[in-house]
């Protein structure tokens, strides 16, 4: 499992009313127990000094004073918001989904000017957290709700499946939709869609499943009733990816063709939960793939199954095994290929893809903690699929 994002939101039935009405929406914040409602944009330097001084005279606790300042700077809503003009976010799907409009930034693309896989994963995390942010349910953690905080619970991701049909390019405006649903009795599903704002073409789809973990004991937890009451009104059935039978990922061993050993998390790889972030795992996985494949191909799908956390002192090994024939054709991936054909016809503006364009590669991955005395411990298993680049940039 890995900390990755927090994926829920408060119930509110309403559609968009546009960005332009948001000039003075209200934000509530608490100082020393009393609630103070202020229109946004009204804090001046003198005011913030005043607020901090006032709180200093009321509280002697250093931490409380810091919390006040943090609240003023972060402005986490304590009530649901329908629109956030700074995040360019909007509550959609009859009040339960979230849409954010994003410009692909210059540092989010690779040398071919298309967004990197890491950038897409980062944007998934960001939009999931902003979904909760908008809900008014966000507590003072990395996406935990108030009910979760009371129970010392954090979110951990157990599985993720991403399909990329087209990579957005530098400067392109995309819309990212995200929503949540039930997953078994104690889990939650979070889905995403990335769409071109100009054309409406879907560029990528993703689904993920989440469970709760006790922050102290690091053991998985049932979903407490109070948390179910918070989040279940937001659950919807719609799925970004239809998976009738989720693919099993075989466990690699030391006979894998490619092995990178001695990988060590750095300080900057830790997220706000003080764990190695999901994106770092993916980076370690992809670094085992031969450079010539990375040059000519791009990732079309990735499935990740998380098994345990990775701490900052662990030494990690990344294993990778290519598929024997380089071609695959199970049900899920065939439908992906069909999507790619349709989309590529549109993007290419002509009739048929050549057989060369259909040539794909598949890899199985494993990240594990290399035990010195004990057995190795699995962190995450993965499957990646790669298709020939149809890049529009050199």
Query: Is 14 in the active site?
Result: no
The catalytic position among 275, 278, 320, 365 is: 275
Q: What b-and-e string marks burial along 272-311, b requiring 16 or more CB atoms within 10 Å of the CB?
A: ebebbbbbbbbbbbbebbeeeeeeebbbbbbbbbbbbbbe
Kindly identify the residues of this chain, within the stretch 50-89, that bind a second copy according to CB under 8 A: 52-53, 55-56, 65-66, 69-70, 72-76, 85-88
Q: Which is nearer to a second copy, 51 or 252 (CB)?
A: 51
Q: Binding a second copy by CB under 8 A: which of 182, 236, 270, 341?
A: 270
The answer for residues whose C-beta is within 8 angstroms of residue 383's C-beta and 6 or more apart is 247, 249, 301, 302, 303, 362, 363, 364, 365
Is there binding between residue 37 and a second copy (CB under 8 A)? no
Is there binding between residue 165 and a second copy (CB under 8 A)? no
Is there binding between residue 347 and a second copy (CB under 8 A)? yes
Is there binding between residue 292 and a second copy (CB under 8 A)? no
Q: Binding a second copy by CB under 8 A: which of 15, 16, 17, 199?
A: 199
Query: Is 273 in the active site?
Result: yes
Q: How many residues does the chain have?
A: 394
Q: Binding a second copy by CB under 8 A: which of 99, 113, 159, 190?
A: 113
C-alpha to C-alpha distances, 53 to 12, 32, 38, 58, 60, nearest whole angstrom: 37, 12, 18, 9, 11
Kindly identify the residues of this chain, within the stretch 349-368, that bind a second copy according to CB under 8 A: 349-350
Supply the minimum distance, in Å, between the C-beta of residue 123 and a second copy.
9
Query: Is 310 in the active site?
Result: yes
Number of residues forming the site for a second copy (CB under 8 A): 76
Kindly identify the residues of this chain, within the stretch 86-105, that bind a second copy according to CB under 8 A: 86-88, 101, 103, 105
Residues with a known catalytic role: 273, 275, 310
């Amino acid at each position: 499992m890995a900390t990755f994002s927090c994926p829920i939101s408060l119930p509110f039935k309403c559609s968009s009313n546009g960005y332009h009405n948001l000039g003075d929406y209200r934000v509530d914040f608490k100082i020393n127990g009393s609630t103070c409602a202020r229109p946004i944009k009204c804090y001046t330097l003198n005011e913030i000094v005043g607020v901090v001084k006032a709180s200093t005279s009321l509280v002697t606790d250093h931490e409380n004073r810091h919390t006040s300042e943090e609240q003023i700077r972060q402005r986490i809503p304590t009530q649901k918001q329908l629109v956030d003009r700074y995040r360019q976010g909007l509550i959609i799907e009859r009040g339960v989904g979230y849409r954010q409009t994003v410009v692909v930034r210059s540092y989010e693309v690779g040398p071919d000017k298309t967004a990197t896989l890491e950038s897409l994963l980062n944007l998934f995390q960001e939009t999931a957290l902003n979904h909760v942010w908008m809900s008014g349910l966000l507590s003072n953690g990395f996406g935990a709700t108030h009910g979760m905080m009371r129970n010392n619970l954090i979110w951990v991701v157990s599985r993720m499946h991403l399909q990329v049909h087209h990579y957005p390019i530098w400067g392109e405006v995309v819309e990212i939709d995200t929503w949540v649903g039930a997953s078994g009795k104690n889990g939650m599903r979070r889905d995403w869609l990335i769409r071109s704002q100009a054309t409406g073409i879907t560029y990528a789809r993703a689904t993920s499943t989440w469970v709760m973990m006790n922050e102290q004991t690091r053991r998985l937890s049932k979903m407490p009733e109070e948390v179910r009451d918070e989040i279940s009104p937001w659950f919807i059935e719609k799925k970004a990816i239809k998976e009738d039978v989720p693919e099993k990922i075989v466990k690699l061993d030391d006979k894998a063709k490619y092995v990178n050993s001695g990988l060590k998390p750095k300080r900057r790889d830790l997220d706000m939960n003080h764990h190695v972030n999901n994106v770092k795992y993916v980076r370690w996985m992809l670094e085992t793939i031969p450079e010539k494949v990375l040059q000519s191909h791009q990732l079309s799908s990735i499935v990740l199954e998380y098994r345990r956390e990775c701490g900052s002192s662990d030494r990690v090994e990344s294993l990778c095994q290519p598929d024997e024939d380089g071609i695959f054709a199970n049900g899920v991936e065939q439908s992906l290929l069909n999507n790619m054909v349709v989309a590529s016809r549109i993007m290419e503006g002509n009739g048929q893809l050549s057989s060369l364009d259909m040539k794909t590669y598949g890899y199985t991955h494993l990240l594990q903690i290399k035990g010195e005395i004990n057995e190795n411990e699995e962190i995450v298993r993965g499957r990646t699929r790669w298709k020939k680049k149809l890049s529009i940039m050199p």
